[in-house]
């Protein structure tokens, strides 16, 4: 049977229903952010939960006069999702760490938190950005083990050491700087990050650990002497344009394909945002 309407309209209607979508390192508000592609992707899915796992809005590099329409479209897409019943979790990262002053905070359908633990069909899933490992990996591996005592302690430690570094005039530890040092060092850094996260998750009895931060999309099983865990990283929307999708009991890594979504309309009917976000970004 023929159903009326253009392809465009149909593509707007046919949203993929998913249980969970995890995004990280969008760096909204910076030139590198692939906002248009992200808005297209967001308009193509209908998740029960949307988890923004850190560095969503880049508050380190935020410039008063740089806020293109496409970046606003990303926010509108998310608000649109919320109005359709999607629960949104904004987890803090290092580029939006100012939010750690107010987290945890519930604003209607939006929760701001430093970490999230979910029960996925009886399996324990631990989600956090991962910048807390910057300091611990730099200084000593046993410090990272403090995470077994508490993730909040790691965040406090990370903050205090960054504050000390600032006082000593050496500035915060920069991830991108470290990644750019050399290919060999970058590979070691990524390995260290992934194994630190996985070891900690195994120690704490999690089945899944999901990070962002290092801009390296991945799904892999990690084993050590104590057990095993599935390590996942949602990548970024600067370079890889990836997301983690959970549906029917399984995690998949989504990779944005220009051809698949390029016909899609990005502009949405304007949504009542409660004006909160508008106010924040107009300031
Ligand atoms: Mn980060």
If we measure between CA atoms, which residue out of 181, 198, 243, 235 comes closest to residue 213? 235
Stated as kind and residue range, the H or E segment containing 117 is: strand 115-120
What residue ranges do the domains of the chain occupy? 7-282
CA of 13 from ligand 1 middle (Å) equals 34
pLDDT (tens place) for every residue of the chain, 283 residues total: 344 434 444 445 689 999 999 999 999 998 889 999 999 999 999 999 999 999 999 888 777 778 899 999 999 999 999 999 999 999 999 888 889 889 899 988 899 999 999 999 999 999 999 988 876 666 555 555 555 455 566 666 666 766 777 777 666 555 555 555 566 777 788 888 999 999 999 999 999 999 999 999 999 999 999 999 999 999 999 989 999 999 999 999 999 987 677 666 555 444 444 444 443 343 3
CA of 163 from ligand 1 middle (Å) equals 17
pTM: 0.79
* Inter-residue contact 129 to 175 (CB < 8 Å): no
Q: Give every CB contact of residue 150 below 8 A, 6+ residues apart in sequence.
A: none
CA of 134 from ligand 1 middle (Å) equals 9
Distances (CA, A) of 58 to 32, 70, 92, 229, 259: 11, 15, 11, 30, 28
CA of 131 from ligand 1 middle (Å) equals 6
Q: Which fold has domain 7-282?
A: Purple Acid Phosphatase; chain A, domain 2 (3.60.21)
CA of 96 from ligand 1 middle (Å) equals 8
């Amino acid at each position: 049977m023929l159903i009326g309407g253009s392809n465009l309209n149909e593509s707007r209607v046919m949203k993929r229903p998913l249980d969970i979508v995890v995004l990280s390192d969008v760096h909204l508000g910076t030139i590198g952010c692939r906002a248009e592609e992200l808005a297209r992707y967001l308009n193509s899915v209908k998740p029960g939960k949307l988890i923004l796992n850190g560095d969503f809005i880049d508050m380190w590099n935020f410039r008063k006069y740089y806020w293109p329409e496409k970046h606003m479209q990303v926010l509108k897409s998310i608000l649109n999702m919320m109005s359709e019943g999607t629960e949104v979790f904004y987890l803090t990262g290092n580029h939006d760490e100012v939010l750690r002053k107010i987290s945890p905070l519930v604003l209607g359908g939006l929760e701001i938190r430093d970490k999230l633990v979910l029960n996925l069909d009886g399996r324990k899933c631990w989600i956090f950005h991962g910048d807390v490992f910057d300091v611990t990996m730099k200084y000593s591996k046993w410090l990272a083990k403090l995470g077994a005592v508490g993730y909040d302690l790691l965040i406090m430690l990370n903050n205090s050491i960054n504050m000390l570094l600032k006082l000593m005039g050496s500035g915060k530890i920069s991830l991108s700087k470290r990644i750019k040092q050399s290919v060999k060092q970058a590979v070691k850094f990524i390995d260290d990050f992934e194994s630190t996260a996985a070891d900690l998750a195994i120690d704490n009895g999690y089945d899944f650990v999901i990070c962002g931060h290092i801009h390296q999309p991945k799904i892999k099983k990690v084993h050590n002497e104590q057990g095993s865990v599935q390590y996942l990283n949602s990548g970024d929307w600067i370079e890889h344009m990836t997301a983690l999708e959970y549906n029917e009991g399984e995690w998949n890594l989504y990779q944005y394909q220009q051809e698949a979504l390029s016909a899609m309309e990005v502009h949405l009917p304007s949504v009542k945002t409660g004006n909160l976000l508008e106010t924040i970004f107009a300031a």
